[in-house]
Chains A and B, each alone.
Chain A
Amino acid sequence: MAHAYTPGLKVTSRMSNRVIRMLPIKGDVMVQIGDTVTADQIVAATYMPGDVYPLNMANTLAVPPKDVASLMLLHEGDSVEEGKPLAQSAGLFGKFKKIYNSPYSGTVETISEVTGQVILRGPDIPVEVRGYMSGTVVEVTPEIGCVIESDVAFVQGIFGIGGETCGTIAFAVDTCDCTLTASEINSDMNGCIVIGGARITHDAIEAARDAGAVAIIGGGMDDQDLKEFLGYDLGVAITGSENKGITVIVTEGFGDIAMASRTFDLLKKHEGHEASVNGATQIRAGVMRPEIIIPLDAGTAEAEPDHTGGYLEIGKALRVIRDPYFGMLGTVKSLPSEPQVLGSGSKARVLEVELHSGESVIVPRANVELIEA
């Protein structure tokens, strides 16, 4: 292999982005091709079948399962309100009959003669899918959903928690290496996506949430802060469904690490603009990284290639992503072809990195990611 491909995260000032908005089951799509939609506009809606409640009526009525149907006051397909009569016991010699009221509202779905179970189906659950990203509808799949397209500035984070949200970009720090603490958060950040520099502290996240911010973004965070914020130790990086009242995204990693200056500058350029963010992260098959999407007016910026990684070449800028040089920036100085023995004793393909400090170090190729110059 002549070149080693090295992954990186996408950070670009302009690209065409598509988001697929789909219902979990068939329903109504409320937009048409060519429509302009906003991030919080409902584009499709449906009703999910309601929750299911099995009731063991044979036990309740103290009769064999086959007799349950004859004692039911309602039939399959009938609706019932919570607390209203559902069945009546056989009683003694036709007297002392007792009414059994339904513990839930819903529809009688089945009455089983084998088990004596009655399945009640609760009211349908409304499901609404919003646009998430402002843009133009370019595809519609009837009853399923649509695709929205827009020119955007796009930043991929490395890890996040919390789901989709949108707000105005607001800066809480002046430089990309500033730690973001609670003292930098203020009440003007209500409804905003708060941008920090290096580490975001736990108190900063809490303060941002209290101030009504919808998201907070920084270069890194301490695992201990994450644990305190979540209330548990995150074991596997499958996130997005946390309901913590704020979406958190880190762009570089865990620890006190400055946001890449290109990312910081790009976000700074769009201070005060509307953006959509999603903290959902999944680092297994079907990799999903958190994202910050800033819709642009058509033609407001020059298109440029994205920065998602590429092949290691001498002179290319990179970041080391593993100790002992974790977080350090530098450039590729040389690419020895033969594997070398590392300090750990393992043999691996390496590269020589000239760090910004001027020092040259040997690093496994697996432990770097390419960044912008």
Chain B
Amino acid sequence: MTIDLDNINVILATDCGSTTTKAILIEKVDGEYRQTYRGEAPTTVEKPFANVTIGVTNAVTEIGELAGRVFTNEDGTIKKPVVGEDGCDLYISTSSAGGGLQMMVAGVIAEMTAASAKRAALGAGAIVMDVISTNDKRRPHEQIQRIRELRPDMILISGGTDGGTTEKVVQLAELIAPAKPQPRFGSEYKMPIIYAGNKDAADEVAASLQEDWIDLAIVENLRPKLEQENLGPARDKIHEVFLEHVMAHAPGYDMLMDWTDAPIMPTPGAVGDILQTIAKKDGINVVGVDIGGATTDVFSVFNETFNRTVSANLGMSYSISNVCAEATMPNVLRWVHFDMDERELRNHVKNKMIRPTTIPQSLESLIFEQAVAREALRLAYKQHKEFATTLKGVQQQRTVGDTFNQEVAGNTIVDNMKLNLLVASGGVLSHAPSMHQTAMMLVDAFEPEGCTNLAKDSIFMMPHLGVLSVVHPKAAAQVFERDCLVYLGTCIAAKGLGKEGRPCFSWSISGDINASGTCNFGDLERIEMSPGQTATIMCEPARGFDLGAGNGKKVTHEIRGGTVGLIIDGRGRPLKLPENRQKCQQTISRWVENMELYPEETNVAVAT
């Protein structure tokens, strides 16, 4: 269907999540696209409803009630096109309901083709259940046993550069064929397998996978050369197979696919698309995070290279217990500025896990949850940095001049000093009672360096805008800029460590606000700077500290205000908290007070 973009005035977009279906309405107001109303309803993919469109209709009906218009027909379908005040011109949707897209990937070498295959799957919005490679330290029969236990929606096989090994690639196929993994959707489901490896091995791989339960698709090699990744064709195929096979087997999705004007995208894939679009448009490096109940997704775009990771068991409800286990309770409690009983806390954590919909009622409870969030985000970002690397296996030519340069392939491309924008989404960040809390969770967990803008996704509309950016990039960009992001402010933070109380950097601001001062090591302060205000900050770091221009070198940054303002962070990087519990509590208390994180009339027994 051809869409006349000039005549699109009303856009409906839904995101069918695991628990909630979120709908937003975008309208052309005074010639510009704006998000105007939102509605939500429980997702209905499970029994007794077992039809995703019921939840969609309910969410859209709620928007209609709020807007005083009608967006659904009597049979529940979306009313299109606009007639009078009712209906919409364009309807699009994303989905992560029913566990999203679950994939298994395989490649010859874990750090090379298997890593590229994992990047392709994650970039397409999948959850990667396991990565099989010839050097993953498991014996072949253990690998087969693992493949048998998994119940993926599809499998991606890569391996070998074009013209490289065929034998090892075919060996991988020979492991998968006898393992016969059982799909989630029952024995009638044909397992889609995408082959994106050495083109010379394609025929032999096809011969090895000639089984009646396999639906094989062959696409271009995702790593044709060691120094080149070509993830596009594999990603596109994953999306295609996702629609044709996975979605078609999910309850009600056949109807939903008929309703939408663009293919349904996996939710994280759509978020990745909008972040890439924005990074490209503004020429900036972006990190986005979405922390949910079960998982935490981290997205990054550095120098136009996109990466996404899913930390499958780092979340704030279903997986909260795992965060505490992985981070350890002392690491969680270092962010809490008063004493808590560890035995009771452990029980609270488990009770949150088994009753995931409860919310913190007391301030103590909120502070503890935000401490857990810091650790979940920190761990997820650490995993992301380890995954988002330059290509491994690339041959490097060294000259005499490189003798002392120990840089090797496979370094992380995530550079906090070059990070321009950090975007937060997910319940604990989006629904924090104060935006100061959101900002500090981000700063403490991600430890941005130099000058970084902080923002949050106002009502989690990045998925909607991601799919919209495919159909109508102009509308997506306008809504993203005006309605999606709520700017929290800017964080200025020095890299390096020093002695507490000694000068870290001096600063002076001119523009919409004017101020100057000296930030000592260990200081954290906030300067009021309202949304829309801009200024120039000139910083002069002390020796041993870097703010972006190098050790001890002056630097100038353009800064923007926000609901929190300007954060002057002299705590150093990497951020280290005192190991002594009492000293740590005192330090955190000081930061809490300076940042006005919690109400003053607190009944919390703050350590002194």
Interface residues of A (CB under 8 A from B): 7, 24-26, 49, 51-54, 65, 109-110, 112, 114-117, 119, 121, 158-159, 222-224, 226, 233-237, 253-255, 281, 283-286, 321-324, 326, 342-348, 363-364, 366-367, 369
Sampled A-B contacts (22; CB under 8 Å): A54-B171, A65-B167, A115-B171, A222-B346, A223-B346, A223-B349, A233-B324, A236-B319, A236-B321, A255-B351, A322-B358, A322-B365, A326-B351, A342-B362, A343-B603, A345-B363, A345-B433, A346-B431, A363-B361, A364-B359, A364-B361, A366-B358
Closest A-chain residue to B326, C-beta based? A235
Assess the A323–B349 pair: CB atoms within 8 A.
Answer: no
If A346-B360, A366-B359 touch, whether A323 touches B433 (CB-CB below 8 Å) is no
- Return chain B residues, CB-CB under 8 Å to A159: 350, 354
Closest A-chain residue to B317, C-beta based? A283
Q: What separation, in Å, do the CA atoms of A237 and B353 have in the docked complex?
A: 7
- Return chain B residues, CB-CB under 8 Å to A285: 18, 45-46, 97-99
Beyond A112-B208, A343-B362, A344-B433, 15 additional pairs, beta carbon < 8 A: A25-B187, A114-B208, A158-B355, A159-B354, A222-B346, A253-B350, A254-B346, A283-B353, A284-B18, A286-B46, A322-B358, A343-B363, A345-B433, A363-B361, A366-B358
- Return chain A residues, CB-CB under 8 Å to B353: 236-237, 283
Assess the A52–B179 pair: CB atoms within 8 A.
Answer: yes
Contact of A235 among B141, B319, B362 (CB under 8 A): B319
Assess the A322–B361 pair: CB atoms within 8 A.
Answer: yes
Assess the A343–B174 pair: CB atoms within 8 A.
Answer: no
- Would you give the 0/1 interface string for B294-317, flagging 1 where the beta carbon is closer than 8 Å to chain A? 100000000000000000010000
- Return chain B residues, CB-CB under 8 Å to A286: 46
Assess the A253–B351 pair: CB atoms within 8 A.
Answer: yes
Interface residues of B (CB under 8 A from A): 18, 45-46, 97-99, 140-141, 144-145, 166-168, 170-171, 174-175, 178-180, 182, 187, 204, 208, 294, 313, 318-319, 321-322, 324-326, 343-344, 346-363, 365-366, 431, 433-434, 598-599, 603
Q: What separation, in Å, do the CA atoms of A112 and B180 have in the docked complex?
A: 18
If A53-B141, A112-B170 touch, whether A284 touches B359 (CB-CB below 8 Å) is no
Assess the B178–A24 pair: CB atoms within 8 A.
Answer: no
Closest 7 interchain pairs by CB?
A: A235-B322, A345-B433, A344-B366, A233-B325, A223-B346, A254-B350, A254-B347
Q: What separation, in Å, do the CA atoms of A90 and B402 have in the docked complex?
A: 51
Q: What separation, in Å, do the CA atoms of A116 and B350 have in the docked complex?
A: 51
Assess the A367–B359 pair: CB atoms within 8 A.
Answer: yes
If A52-B179, A235-B321 touch, whether A253 touches B366 (CB-CB below 8 Å) is no
Assess the A236–B318 pair: CB atoms within 8 A.
Answer: yes
Closest B-chain residue to A223, C-beta based? B346
Contact of B361 among A115, A117, A343 (CB under 8 A): A343
Contact of B174 among A54, A284, A323 (CB under 8 A): A54
Assess the B365–A344 pair: CB atoms within 8 A.
Answer: yes
Assess the B325–A235 pair: CB atoms within 8 A.
Answer: yes
Closest B-chain residue to A233, C-beta based? B325
Mostly, the A contact residues are loop
From A114, A116, A237, name the one whose CB has the most chain B CB atoms within 10 angstroms.
A114
Min CB distance, B434 to chain A, in Å?
6
Assess the A237–B318 pair: CB atoms within 8 A.
Answer: yes
- Return chain A residues, CB-CB under 8 Å to B356: 283
If A286-B46, A345-B366 touch, whether A253 touches B598 (CB-CB below 8 Å) is no
Assess the A322–B355 pair: CB atoms within 8 A.
Answer: yes
Contact of B365 among A54, A255, A323 (CB under 8 A): A323
Assess the A236–B313 pair: CB atoms within 8 A.
Answer: yes
Assess the A119–B362 pair: CB atoms within 8 A.
Answer: no
- Return chain A residues, CB-CB under 8 Å to B349: 223
Assess the B599–A345 pair: CB atoms within 8 A.
Answer: yes
Q: What separation, in Å, do the CA atoms of A47 and B321 have in the docked complex?
A: 38
- Return chain A residues, CB-CB under 8 Å to B140: 53-54
From B179, B319, B347, B361, name the one whose CB has the most chain A CB atoms within 10 angstroms.
B361
Assess the A346–B178 pair: CB atoms within 8 A.
Answer: no
Assess the A158–B354 pair: CB atoms within 8 A.
Answer: yes
Assess the B360–A114 pair: CB atoms within 8 A.
Answer: no
Assess the A342–B99 pair: CB atoms within 8 A.
Answer: no
Contact of A344 among B187, B321, B360 (CB under 8 A): B360
If A342-B361, A346-B433, A366-B359 touch, whether A121 touches B178 (CB-CB below 8 Å) is yes
Closest B-chain residue to A116, C-beta based? B167
- Return chain B residues, CB-CB under 8 Å to A223: 343, 346-347, 349-350
Min CB distance, A324 to chain B, in Å?
5
Min CB distance, A251 to chain B, in Å?
11
- Return chain B residues, CB-CB under 8 Å to A345: 363, 366, 433-434, 598-599
- Return chain B residues, CB-CB under 8 Å to A119: 174, 178
If A54-B174, A115-B170 touch, whether A367 touches B350 (CB-CB below 8 Å) is no
Q: What separation, in Å, do the CA atoms of A243 and B345 have in the docked complex?
A: 27
Assess the B351–A344 pair: CB atoms within 8 A.
Answer: no
Assess the B366–A346 pair: CB atoms within 8 A.
Answer: yes
- Return chain A residues, CB-CB under 8 Å to B145: 51
Assess the A255–B178 pair: CB atoms within 8 A.
Answer: no
Assess the B141–A54 pair: CB atoms within 8 A.
Answer: yes
- Return chain A residues, CB-CB under 8 Å to B603: 343
- Return chain A residues, CB-CB under 8 Å to B178: 52, 109-110, 119, 121
Closest B-chain residue to A235, C-beta based? B322
Closest A-chain residue to B437, C-beta based? A345
Contact of A24 among B179, B182, B294, B366 (CB under 8 A): B182
- Return chain B residues, CB-CB under 8 Å to A110: 174, 178
Q: What separation, in Å, do the CA atoms of A253 and B356 have in the docked complex?
A: 12
From A26, A52, A109, A253, name the one whose CB has the most chain B CB atoms within 10 angstroms.
A52
Contact of A367 among B168, B343, B346, B361 (CB under 8 A): B361
- Return chain B residues, CB-CB under 8 Å to A363: 361
Assess the B325–A254 pair: CB atoms within 8 A.
Answer: no
Assess the B355–A253 pair: CB atoms within 8 A.
Answer: yes
Q: What separation, in Å, do the CA atoms of A115 and B169 have in the docked complex?
A: 9
- Return chain B residues, CB-CB under 8 Å to A364: 358-359, 361
